[in-house]
Amino acid sequence: MESISSKHWLALTKSFQKPDSFKSWMQVLNSFGPFLLLWGLAYFALEVSFWFMIPVAFLAALFGLRIFIIQHDCGHGSFFKSMKWRDRVGIVCSFITMTPYRGWQWEHAMHHAHSGKIEHRDLGEIVMLTAAEFVALSRWEKIKYRIYRFPPATFLIGPAWVFFGFYRWPYWKEHRQHKVYRQSVWLTNAWLLALFGVGIYFLGWNFAWVHLMIIYFTAVMGVWMFYVQHQFEDGYWRPTENWTQAEAAVHGSSFFKLPKILQWFTGNIGYHHVHHLNPLIPNYELEACHNENEVLQTEVTTLTLANCWETMKLKFWDEKLERMISWKEMKNLYL
């Protein structure tokens, strides 16, 4: 991948890493405004029927996903030039998404620093074993891994556990040791306790049902996006000594080519290879950077709504073949 080696990648993307205050504030308005409106409609729909509420909650969750992308960009320092404003907006987003701002900011920074390193798959990743690691497991450990990687568990149960359970305490050792990270978790929890307390007091338990359902849908979509952007057949996992950031970004992150409306709702995060090359690019500039640099279009693995579902059958990284393999391939090759 000489054409986008580490010494060249910054030059390809640097001109796009300038936040535009107008675009950023417009994104805040066109994300929070519809979200709050649809949240209210979902609440009134629930007064009629749970099943009337579901489609409205799902639509609200699409805007919730945009809010999560704003929080994500604020955490990277790419959304506003002002640190004060990006932290303020990021913290407000975190109260909606139920995701501690500082704590997740650190976790996600570790993901960027180590993405594609075979020794660092525990840092904010969906757990993936190598073929050799799986073969070495006990029978019970093999069963647990297969349950974990069973799609309903990974994409329906897992998101609920992460957003409603895992994020509620200082989950990484670094969080327990660092005051700022701990405070981020407890501040988010205190806000959520106050929000749900006041909401339930004035609006009843339907308040909790509506918000939890919206965030659940947001979490499911977010986990799916993260999965297909990093766990696909022609991925990239290397020992640290053979790892480069540019290769990890472009070969270890997919281009999830979505229809324009879904691209808008997901804040262009489908251009994930560009984002990993330069996390300082605001989400609204990712597409332009991709389109201007032909090498970013030809080197990357492109996934679409038609073929992204095939990634669910991939369970292991095969270090010999240097690609992900399915359970069927595992049995034929190693068991």
Q: Give me the residue label for tokens 């290769």.
A: 247
pLDDT at 2: 42
Measured between its terminal Cα atoms, the distance across the chain in Å is 34
Write the burial class of residue 314 (CB in 10 Å: 0-12 exposed, 13-18 middle, 19+ buried). buried
Q: Which residues, listed in sequence order, are joined to residue 303 by a DSSP beta bridge?
A: 256
Give the residue from 100, 127, 101, 97 showing the smallest Cα distance to 219.
97
Sheet strands side by side (includes 314-318): 129-130, 314-318, 323-326
pLDDT at 1: 45
pLDDT at 176: 59
Total number of domains in the chain: 1
Task: Per-residue pLDDT tens, the chain, 335 aa: give them.
Answer: 444 556 677 788 989 999 999 999 999 999 999 999 999 999 999 999 999 999 999 999 999 999 999 999 999 999 999 999 999 999 999 999 999 999 899 889 889 989 999 988 866 678 999 999 999 999 999 999 999 999 999 999 999 999 999 899 887 666 556 778 888 889 999 999 999 999 999 999 999 999 999 999 999 999 999 999 999 999 999 999 989 888 899 999 999 999 999 999 999 999 999 999 999 999 999 999 999 998 889 889 999 999 999 999 999 999 999 999 999 999 999 98
* Residue ranges making up the domain that contains 247: 2-334
pLDDT at 66: 98
Q: pTM value?
A: 0.94
